[in-house]
């Protein structure tokens, strides 16, 4: 094989490996029989959609809370849909307070809500400049170069805000249920809980923002309503 032919073979082989990694997908079903796409990112398998379940994996129903004042005063697990409209759950999933996350029964059997460190692994896996283990991921606020852009879906965000979805994570801007129990930022921002708490009143979350290519790491009160993704160790 001459040098030109060898170079062409290596380039084609490399492209094929990257393509295969991008398409390393599967499916998982929750206790409510919702079916989700999954992706493999190194040593983890992640859901490629936001969780929609209204039932813990032990069969107990998760309380659905529509009232704003009641939502803010909760100290136990609960869920809601954006604008209290169930039609929003198909695309954006359900929203949960951190107390529901902390039950360890929100995800399917064998799956879990990712820790702060497991989110850092995903960010390093996705980013083109700051790899897995880079200390940049330990900082609060916006971090990285383009992880947010590469995790965003290619459509569904406010005009000009969509991403490239390079690893199939397909992040959508489901918004949040915020400080006064109202709903905010659907179409422009995505929020996910981690399972890692900062202290008795707050926990770590992730946020991807419309028009921004990095990804935000910060803490919020545990009664906030955010989306959830589940993962498991890659078999």
pLDDT, tens digit, 9 for 90 and up, residues 53-76: 999 999 999 999 999 999 999 999
Distance of CA 202 to the CA centre of its chain: 18
Count Cβ atoms within 10 A of the Cβ of residue 85 and give its class: 0-12 exposed, 13-18 middle, 19 or more buried. Answer: exposed
Q: Is the per-residue pLDDT at 15 higher than 80?
A: no
The mean pLDDT of 143-162, rounded to a whole number, is 95
Cα distances from 221 to residues 18, 19, 50, 56, in angstroms, run: 39, 40, 20, 22
| Better-predicted residue by pLDDT, 215 or 9 | 215
Task: Output the average pLDDT for the chain.
Answer: 90
Residue 185 pLDDT grade (very low, low, confident, very high; cuts 50, 70, 90): very high
Task: Tally Cβ neighbours within 10 Å of residue 21.
Answer: 16
Scan for tokens 């659907």, then name that residue. Answer: 186
Strand positions, DSSP E, the chain: 25-29, 35-41, 44-47, 79-80, 95-96, 141-143, 176-177, 183-184, 189-197, 202-209, 215-221, 231-233
Q: Is the per-residue pLDDT at 5 higher than 50?
A: no
Q: What is the pLDDT of residue 180?
A: 83
Q: What is the pLDDT of residue 100?
A: 98
Q: Where are the domains of the chain?
A: 25-233
The mean pLDDT of 188-215, rounded to a whole number, is 97
Q: Is the per-residue pLDDT at 19 higher than 70?
A: no
Residue 4 pLDDT grade (very low, low, confident, very high; cuts 50, 70, 90): very low
Residue 3 pLDDT grade (very low, low, confident, very high; cuts 50, 70, 90): very low
Q: Is the per-residue pLDDT at 7 higher than 70?
A: no
Exposure on the CB side of residue 171, measured as CA atoms within 13 A: 33
The mean pLDDT of 128-141, rounded to a whole number, is 97
| Better-predicted residue by pLDDT, 102 or 181 | 102
Residue 21 pLDDT grade (very low, low, confident, very high; cuts 50, 70, 90): very low
Tokens standing for 165? 């979805």
């Amino acid at each position: 094989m001459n040098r030109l032919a060898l170079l062409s073979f290596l380039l084609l082989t490399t492209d094929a490996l990257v393509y295969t990694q991008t398409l390393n997908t599967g499916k998982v079903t929750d206790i409510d029989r919702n079916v989700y796409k999954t992706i493999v990112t190194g040593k983890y398998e992640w859901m490629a959609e936001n969780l929609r379940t209204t039932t813990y994996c032990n069969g107990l129903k998760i309380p659905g809370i529509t009232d704003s004042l009641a939502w803010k005063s909760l100290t136990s697990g609960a869920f809601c849909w954006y604008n209290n409209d169930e039609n929003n759950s198909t695309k954006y999933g359900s929203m949960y307070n951190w107390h529901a996350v902390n039950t360890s029964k929100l995800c399917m059997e064998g799956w879990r809500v990712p820790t702060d460190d497991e989110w850092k692994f995903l960010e390093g896996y996705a980013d083109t400049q700051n790899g897995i283990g880079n200390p940049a991921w330990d900082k609060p606020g916006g971090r990285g170069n383009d992880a947010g852009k590469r995790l965003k879906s290619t459509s569904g965000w406010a005009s000009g805000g969509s991403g490239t979805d390079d690893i199939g994570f397909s992040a959508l801007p489901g918004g949040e249920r915020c400080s006064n129990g109202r709903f905010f930022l659907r179409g422009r921002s995505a929020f996910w809980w981690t399972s890692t708490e900062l202290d008795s009143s707050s926990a770590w979350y992730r946020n991807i923002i419309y028009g921004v290519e990095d990804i935000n790491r910060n803490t919020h009160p545990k009664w906030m309503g955010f989306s959830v993704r589940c993962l498991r160790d890659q078999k």
